[in-house]
Amino acid sequence: MSDLTGKVAIVTACSRGIGFAIVKKFVEDGATVYMAVRDSDKDINLTNKLHAENDHYRRVVYNAIDFSSYKPMVDEVVKDAGRIDVLVNNFGTTDIVHDLTLTTGDPEKFFAIIKENIGSVYYGARYVVEQMMKQKTGGSIVNISSVAGTTPDVSRLAYTTSKAAIDSLTRNIAVQYARQQIRCNAVLPGMVDTDAIKKLSKDFTETFLNNVPLGRFVEPEDIADAVAFLASDESRNITGELIPVCGGFGLPTPIYSDVISGKIKQN
């Protein structure tokens, strides 16, 4: 268990999946977490229910793709809690219909996805870093990127490009604010076992798993554990790192699955 006792954290886009697992882990480890969610009945009901059970769950309203909402979000947390120690930029989007290859994808969608994914990290980090510098107590920013940013794909050009840019942004923030003791790292999930996987074909998921050395999907809790470590003081000397949580996907030879299945003989 990472020790986040007394820390104030913001986690964006966190009403389900990876984000929700991060929120739960943070609260279990002692943090007060501001769940940055939309102004929707579903999200408000969820955060009200959680807060009633444990006041370490709190809500702050924002819109991930409305960049004008980021500063008011940060200001509201500071007004309520007095400081911010941790930011987790969890938002990410794509469009499986229009985010395709260079020649088959929609150019407008390409640039929209790029803007939304990079902007969500840029603006969240910008205003939180400004606050952390005022506090003079340092802090930790964790960006949720993807192994897609380091492994070229046969499609999803905008998504993969934006994640690669987020990796670079992570390292630049780490270097630019290290002297202020503000750390910035990224966690790179592989294929995570969420509702989205159920929409994929069985052939695809089986083939994918054959290329994962550990042979299993990543669970949201696996991501949450890594993020909690990076948010805690236990990782105080770790910054600018891109940490894959993907079961080893991308490490072996491209013929890995054929070799271990016996389709290809090595001798």
According to DSSP, residue 261 is labeled T
- For the cut 80, the answer to whether the pLDDT of residue 150 exceeds it is yes
pLDDT tens digits for range 156-207 = 999 999 999 999 999 999 999 999 999 999 999 999 998 777 777 888 888 8
- Whether the per-residue pLDDT at 1 is higher than 80: the answer is no
* Count of beta carbons in the 10 Å neighbourhood of residue 96: 12
Place of tokens 């229009």: 98
Which amino acid, residue 5? T
What percent of the chain stands above pLDDT 70? 100
- The pLDDT-based confidence of 61 (bands split at 50, 70, 90) is very high
* Nearest alpha carbon to residue 95 among 84, 83, 108: 108
Strand partners, 12: 36
Write the pLDDT tens digit of every residue in 224-266.
999 999 999 999 999 999 999 999 999 998 888 888 888 888 7
As a whole number, mean pLDDT of residues 37-62 equals 97
Mean pLDDT along residues 136-148: 97
Which carries the bigger pLDDT value, residue 257 or residue 72? 72
* Mean pLDDT (whole number) for 91-103: 96
- 57, 159, 177, 256: the active-site residue: 159
Rg (CA), the chain: 19
Cα 4 to Cα 26: distance, rounded to the nearest angstrom? 7
Indicate the burial class of 264 (C-beta count within 10 angstroms; 0-12, 13-18, 19 or more).
exposed
pLDDT band at 83 (very low <50, low <70, confident <90, very high): very high
Q: Is the pLDDT of residue 88 over 90?
A: yes
Q: How many residues does the chain have?
A: 267
Catalytic annotation present for 70: no
The pLDDT score that the predictor gives to residue 198 is 77
**Residue 46 pLDDT > 90:** yes
